[in-house]
Amino acid sequence: MDSRPPLRIGDCAPDFGARSTAGDIKLSQFRGKWLVFFSHPADFTPVCTTEFVALAQAAGRFAALGCALLGLSVDSLFSHLAWIRAIREVFGVTIGFPVIEDPSMAVGRAFGMIDERAGDSAAIRSTYFIDPEGVIRAITTYPHNVGRSVEEMLRMVAALQCAAGDTVLTPEGWQPGEPVLLPPARAAGDADAADWFCRRVAAP
């Protein structure tokens, strides 16, 4: 059992070095970019494969947001490479983002990506959205049997970028280009308007 307190929004993502499908990697080398760092339970599994295919197909859209992708599972580098080759053969899709091996679970444990109560060592579907300064801005956790939405990951990155600095807030279901909300302290200056607490303004 890991006694470290769980990572939270606002924490600096702990740096680490690991072997990946793109060579040796340090988390800190992604500074200066947004990063979606995600774990998956296991290679060669159905839901994870759909996530990988969708992430690879959306790689250009993440790049357009200045956002890199980084995967992790407890599987070995050789397993990752074999799975990536199989995905290319079956789906014609190239996984262009690095995938870290974490057989010791050192990284997964540091990021709370391992379900310590599970009977096996599989990582859960954790996703960390890390800003260019290395600060964790959002965390999501999904179970092994429900796949994540890559559209929602893209939306999350765009919303975090839009709302960075807290001058504006993004409403439910916000999409890039849509109006945003003012923080309560700023909106209260317009308290005579009936809709002062929920007025939408153009995105900066």
- The reply to whether 45 sits near ligand BEZ by the rule CB under 6 A is yes
Dihedral sign (CA 44, 49, 51, 57)? positive
Contact region for ligand BEZ (CB under 6 A) — 37-45, 82-90, 166-174, 179-187?
A: 37-45
- Shortest Cβ distance from residue 14 to ligand BEZ (Å)? 25
| Alpha carbon distance 80, 20 (integer Å) | 9
Active-site amino acid positions: 48
- Shortest Cβ distance from residue 119 to ligand BEZ (Å)? 12
- The reply to whether 55 sits near ligand BEZ by the rule CB under 6 A is no
Contact region for ligand BEZ (CB under 6 A) — 39-47, 103-111, 157-165, 177-185?
A: 39-47
Q: Between residues 74 and 159, which has the closer beta carbon with respect to ligand BEZ?
A: 74
CB 154 within 8 A of CB 162: no
Contact region for ligand BEZ (CB under 6 A) — 25-33, 42-50, 68-76, 111-119?
A: 42-50
Q: If you compute the radius of gyration of the chain from its CA atoms, what whole number of angstroms results?
A: 19
- The reply to whether 46 sits near ligand BEZ by the rule CB under 6 A is yes
Strand, helix or coil at 148?
coil
| Alpha carbon distance 180, 172 (integer Å) | 10
| Alpha carbon distance 103, 139 (integer Å) | 22
Q: Please pick, from the candidates 11, 29, 33, 42, the single residue that binds ligand BEZ as defined by CB under 6 A.
A: 42
- The reply to whether 41 sits near ligand BEZ by the rule CB under 6 A is yes
- The reply to whether 162 sits near ligand BEZ by the rule CB under 6 A is no
Q: 73-132: which residues touch ligand BEZ (CB under 6 A)?
A: 122
- Contact pattern for ligand BEZ over residues 122 through 141, marking x by CB under 6 A: x-------------------
∠ CA 138-139-143, nearest 5°, is 155
Give the footprint of ligand BEZ on this chain (CB under 6 A): 41-42, 45-48, 122, 144
